[in-house]
Amino acid sequence: MQKEKFIQFLEKFAPKNLAEDWDNVGFLLGKREGEVKRVYLCLDVDSFAVKRAIEEGCDFILSHHPFIFKGLKSVTEENVQGKKIIALIENKISVFSMHTNFDSVEKGMAELVAEILGWKKEGVIEAVNPSESGAEQGIGFFTHLEKELSCEELANYVKESCKLPYIEY
């Protein structure tokens, strides 16, 4: 698939206008031209993700959290952020991040979590622009549970439902 078409699809799926003002989402690194052959999907563009993307022969990273967040003062091998950026550029790996816009979009993070937990999303915590379908969009969601749960019971339910090795609460 052409990278420009893939980027357009991602921008249409989770538009920037759904992101919080403080967030830095979208196409963050690379060139728009060329072909996307292999995508590495991750939560954070940390050193492990960059290393794995290189090892797996990926040319595109799609992350939830943006790895360029505040202004950069330098891009050198003298710090972790600089090392990651240099490695990504040298390996011709582009980066696209969908954070609070993916949290807010219809069929995004909140609905995925609700589905995994077997809960019905009844509304959003912080509303943003309405979708084309008229569905309320926003960050987070609320639901009503059939029975009251303690914090420990809820944590264990989330851990088991999401097949997590551990959970902190």
Report d(CA 50, CA 35) in Å as an integer.
19
pLDDT-derived band at 90, boundaries 50, 70, 90: very high
70 with 92: CB under 8 angstroms? Answer: no
Report d(CA 144, CA 33) in Å as an integer.
47
**What is the overall mean pLDDT for the chain?**
91
**pTM for the model:** 0.83
pLDDT per residue as tens digits for the range 103-136: 888 888 888 888 999 998 888 888 776 666 666 7
Q: What integer is the mean pLDDT of 55-76?
A: 94
Report d(CA 39, CA 98) in Å as an integer.
14
Backbone angles phi, psi at 3, to 5 degrees: -60, -40
| Other CB atoms within 10 A of residue 63 CB | 21
